[in-house]
Structure 1
Amino acid sequence: MRIVFDYNRFMIRKAVRNDIDEMIRIIDQAKAYLKEQGVDQWQDGYPNKEVLLEDIKQGYSYVLEDGPILGTMCFKVADDPDYVRIDGKWLCEGSYGVIHRIAIDDKYKGEGRAREFLEYAIKACRESHAVSLRIDTHQDNHSMRRFLEKNGFIECGMIYIGGVSPRIAYERCVEY
């Protein structure tokens, strides 16, 4: 198996079909956390196994592991149709990377694991000559919003997933 981003103790790699059960387990933990926090995000069955399998098939799904899988994310350097229209303004013009469906196993939250996904994505953006990294979240997902702002992301405005579901859009310009 090819290592994508190797730290001293763990690695980030592309997910494979055999990872799906662990990925679903982590996503389900995130859904439960959001529900407990009163956040109406991921409460309608999304993301589900089919979405995650499609991410794997497209080559956009990644896992963070240290023996066990500690987290999962969808990442690609490509235009996102939901990011074409924004009520606000993006910081950077040009190609960009996008993170969706990022989640960390409850046992490892607070250890900086999600930040390592961001570092990987920023490095991949630089290598692809993308000018920024974009991500969105539900307006009531205060823990994600704090995490993004703490890691250099700037709130840019509102986008609409599928043209209907409002999400706060964030961007971090990539320095070379």
Structure 2
Amino acid sequence: LIVDEEVAGMASLIEGPDKNYQRIDSGEWKNKSDDYIAIHRVAISSKYQGMHLNDTLFACLLTVIETKGFKHVRIDTHPKNQRLQHIADKFGFEYRGIIYIEDETVEPERKAYELELG
């Protein structure tokens, strides 16, 4: 996300299958195929925080995802990340369960969400 010719935010779009999404506890994926795209590494620069740019970033990401022809989107976040959970809810993502990421440097438990685009 560029604001006044500066990078204000970023995210990664990763086409499935994602090994971290193979197992889900306390729920299940609505779309069980590997035909999905995942949003990862969402960040807004501290210089631009408080400007509600997450809404703009997510709207742009969903437009790119639709343009790429994907109908199913997944996202996950740390259970304490209330901000991203709020954004997921705001954009219509449904809570689907708990996944565990393979990264020894962080707590592995994540809340997993899924969105089906029109």
The SS at the match of 1:117 is helix
Residue 90 of structure 1, CA deviation? 1.2
In structure 1, the residue matched to 2:20 is 82
Match of 1:172 among 111, 115, 118: 115
Structure 2 stretches of 5 or more lacking a match?
none
Higher helix share: 1
Aligned position for 2:10: 72
Measured after TM superposition, the shift of residue 132 of structure 1 is 1.1
SS of equivalent residue, structure 1 residue 171: strand
Percent identity between the aligned chains? 31
> Which residue does 1:91 correspond to in 2?
30
TM-score, length of structure 2 as denominator length: 0.82
Specify the code of the residue in structure 2 equivalent to 1:74.
S
Secondary structure at 2:96 match in 1: strand
With normalisation by structure 1, the TM-score equals: 0.57
Q: What is the CA distance between 1:65 and its match in structure 2?
A: 0.9
Measure the CA separation in 2 of the matches of 1:120 and 1:146: 17
Gaps of 5+ in 1: 1-63
Q: How far off is 1:82 after superposition? A: 0.3
C-alpha contact (below 8 Å) 1:93/1:131 kept by paired residues: no
Residue from 113, 132, 153 that aligns with 2:93: 153
Aligned with 1:140: secondary structure? Answer: coil
Q: How is 1:117-136 mapped onto 2 (pairs within 5 angstroms)?
A: 117-136=57-76
Match of 1:105 among 32, 41, 45: 45
Aligned residues: 112
Taking a change above 3 Å as real, the CA distance of residues 93 and 112 of structure 1, as seen in their structure-2 partners, is: farther
Runs of 4+ in 1 over 3 A off after TM superposition: none
What is the letter of the counterpart of residue 111 of structure 2? I
Task: In structure 1, give the amino acid aligned to 2:28.
Answer: K
Output the CA distance in 1 between the equivalents of 2:37 and 2:64.
8
Structure showing greater radius of gyration is 1
Deviation of the 1:68 alpha carbon = 1.1
